[in-house]
Structure 1
Amino acid sequence: MALDAVFFDLDGTLLDTAPDLACALNAMLASKNRAPLHFEDVRRVVSDGAAAMIALAFNVSKEHEDMLPLRQELLDFYLQNLATHTRPFEGIEALIEQLAKHKIRWGIVTNKPWVYTEPLMKQIKFASEPVATICPEHVKERKPSPEALYLACKQAACNSENAIYIGDHLRDIQCGLNAGMPTIAVGYGYIPAGDHPDNWGATHSVTSAKELWPIIQAYLDISE
């Protein structure tokens, strides 16, 4: 396999965004004179989006009439502080340096809306810039549809079979497999309670971002 590009999910894979999301939720709760939630409880539902965080905090279903206004209120709090505590996961910056060194293009394919992704990525600096950043607004169907990965490949000028997709949720792995790519499931991300990356059918799985480069390196057939 000639590897041309590596694509990442964003939250829970490339960046540890949970601290800022939890802060936004607790700021919202404080504004309503409610007690804060424990960080680990929030972290477990981050991968399922703002609606899941609201369901946890306010004990309302996703169909409840209050869900949409509460969700938007949370996102408004989040937009005010996107990158106060957000950082790349340990090992990610070194990985991007290796990709840059070996002229491997990289990009982001996320279900996070562009209005949050674009300003967040402006505040996070890597050794090289992503050649593609694909959000739900850019496609008709969200992950696990492969549409976003196909668009990322188009922008990266590569074929889908010559790329890898890395993610921390079952839908990420399904998306990559649906696009015909090798996939890497990351166990360091925001894994829902009772779930396990080894059960997702990924090509590879890791527990630390530091384990990603040796897997990618094997596809490149290099030893450095």
Structure 2
Amino acid sequence: MIQAVLFDLDGTLADTAPDLGYALNLQRERHGLAPLAQETIRPYASHGTRGLFEIGFGLTPEDARFDPMREEYLELYTANLCRFTQLFPGMAALLKALEERNVHWGVVTNKPARFTNPLLEQLGLIKRAASIISGDTCLHPKPHPEPLLCAAREIGVAPQTCLYVGDAERDIEAARAAGMPALIADYGYLGAADRPETWGAQGRIDTPLGILTFLE
């Protein structure tokens, strides 16, 4: 029986791609480059600055410019953290339904806490979440299982009674390693090269409310 539902943040709980892309285009403008279409940026939004810089500047972490460019980008993103970001359609209704059923919910993301907490505050969720685990809360981020296990401990439930929902392969890998059932958010930021059918999740959902089917 599922006692808690844990969500990835970017591409699962909230549609953060518009602000991630907005900051990337501001940075491109600073460097004399034309803006990219949001549709081009969107599939990279779940992969952090590594993915965004791949599409935005053709940079990898091995490039000497990567770290200073990353700092510049993060400053721009901090200033535009919740300009366009919204919960995915159906997510607000889902969270209400979970709370009415006394099912705990929380967030486990690789996003650093300096962004996670202010963003959830602006979305009106920080006091409602039973656990918030960011990318720098634990020693290891996803795909290591530690963040998911930490959330389960914080909520006070066994890992096998938690359902984890994410839109990236590392999300499902982390859930499997933690002994948690997992669902793939098909409405998230899946890219053309992703093969979610091979990730080993218990199911896939087209809308957040699809999660309720797995709780019955």
TM-score by length of 2: 0.96
Residue number in structure 1 paired with 2:52: 53
User: 2-side partners of 1:126 and 1:66: how far apart?
Assistant: 36
> Are 2:2 and 2:162, in contact at CA under 8 Å, matched by a contact in 1?
yes
1:184-203 superposed matches below 5 A: 184-203=183-202
Match of 2:158 in 1: 159
Contact 1:91 1:209 in 2 (8 A): yes
**2:96 corresponding residue in structure 1:** 97
CA distance in 2, matches of 1:77, 1:203: 38
Measure how far apart 1:207 and its partner are: 1.9
Query: Aligned pairs, how many?
Result: 216
Contact 2:117 2:126 in 1 (8 A): no
114-123 vs 27-36, which deviates more? Answer: 27-36
Residue of structure 2 in register with 1:214 after alignment: 213
Deviates more, 1:160-169 or 1:57-66: 57-66
> Mapping of 1:1-224 within 5 angstroms?
2-126=1-125, 129-216=128-215, 218=216
Q: Deviations over 1:46-69 (max 9, x none)?
A: 111112211221122220000111
Cα deviation for residue 128 of structure 1 reads 6.8
Q: Deviations over 1:72-95 (max 9, x none)?
A: 111110000111100010111010
Deviation above 4 Å: which 4+ runs of structure 1? none
Q: Secondary structure of the residue that 2:183 maps to in structure 1? A: strand
Quote the Cα distance in structure 2 between the aligned partners of 1:124 and 1:74: 22
* 8 Å contact from structure 1 (residues 29, 36) kept in 2: yes
Q: Is the 8 A contact 1:97 1:127 kept in 2?
A: no
Secondary structure of 1:13's match?
coil
Equivalent residues of 2:149, 2:178 under 8 A apart: yes
- Residue 204 of structure 1: CA displacement? 1.0
**Separation in 2 of the partners of 1:29 and 1:167?**
29
Q: Quick one: percent identity of the two aligned structures? A: 36
Note closer, same or farther for the CA distance 1:61–1:128 as it changes in structure 2 (3 Å cut). closer
Q: Judge conservation of contact 1:93–1:127 (CA < 8 Å) in 2.
A: no
Matched position secondary structure for 2:136: helix
Amino acid at match of 1:11: D
Task: Tell me the amino acid that sits aligned with residue 14 of structure 1.
Answer: L
Please identify, of 175-184 and 49-58, the stretch whose mean Cα deviation from structure 2 is larger.
49-58
Structure-2 residue corresponding to 1:221:
none
Structure 1 residue 44: Cα displacement: 1.1
SS in 2 for 1:184: strand
Which sections of structure 1, spanning at least 5 residues, go unmatched? Answer: 219-224
The Cα of 1:197 is off from its aligned counterpart by 2.3
Tell me the distance in 2 between the aligned counterparts of 1:26 and 1:148. 31
Match of 1:138, SS?
coil
